[in-house]
Homo-oligomer: A and B are copies of this chain.
């Protein structure tokens, strides 16, 4: 015979009542059934859990230890059943979200915050990754939703624009262009450029460099930084100028001058991407949530 949850349930009620008859009534079984269940439990444990006499029933030290542990086991069982049910209807679970430097700088934080308010049981697990990596991870089912630099046209995937970024030119205070209201791309032909992190920002430069070429020049890169803070730092100490997006510039401040680029109409879009079939429930909820963000 094996110990089951039934034994624990009966034991705990008896440990509470310390009276076989009353406990058996609370359990809606007969008193002999309870007596035997406890006997079987004690036999299986090879431990006496109750001191019995005709006058009183009381827990032994071992019985007290079993009561604590048994209560924990029962609570754990209940919690597990509840969680499992909630996961099965999508009220709980994990959502694996990929993001780029650009997504995390603007749309994503607010989006995830609102999603969490609507679905507090769903844990968001963020994974940093460039666009190409995220697309691959979506295909490998390592990711549920990607936030990537678009536009994305992958067969088997849906996408939705969540953020548009305009390029902006950043120069240090005192720079020859610092007093301008705006610049044209061609004005920057002879400048030294500080470059963003090469791999992570590949998509951004895929967007930017063709624009420069159209304006008749190839940016002269003199420094490469590891992240956006690094770029702005290098610019502010006069190593050069840079072009990045408004949302990323919002993070930095001191000693820098932002200049709109008036002759660039193209925007860089960040899109949410997800598989078009067999969505996990948390993913479906996130997609529904994204769709609902139009009206809201």
Are A280 and B4 closer than 8 Å at their CB atoms?
no
Contacts of A281 in B (CB 8 A): 61
Q: This chain: how many copies in the complex?
A: 2
From DSSP, what is the main secondary structure of chain A's interface residues? helix
Are B65 and A83 closer than 8 Å at their CB atoms?
yes
Among candidates B4, B76, B93, residue contacting A4 with C-beta atoms closer than 8 Å: B4
Contact with B along A8-21 (1 / 0, CB 8 A): 00000000000000
- A3–B46 CA distance with the chains assembled, in angstroms: 25
- Closest residue to A74 on the B side, CB-wise? B73
Considering only CB atoms and an 8 Å cut-off, how many residues of chain A contact the other chain?
37
- A296–B231 CA distance with the chains assembled, in angstroms: 72
Contacts of A30 in B (CB 8 A): none
Among candidates B46, B69, B80, residue contacting A79 with C-beta atoms closer than 8 Å: B69
Contact with B along A45-69 (1 / 0, CB 8 A): 1111100000000001111111011
Among candidates B3, B45, B282, residue contacting A5 with C-beta atoms closer than 8 Å: B3
A136 at the interface (CB under 8 A from B): no
Stretch of A84-92, A100-108, A268-276 with 4 or more beta carbons under 8 angstroms from chain B = A84-92
- Supposing A61-B88, A62-B87, A93-B61 touch, asked if A73 and B69 sit within 8 A by C-beta, the answer is no
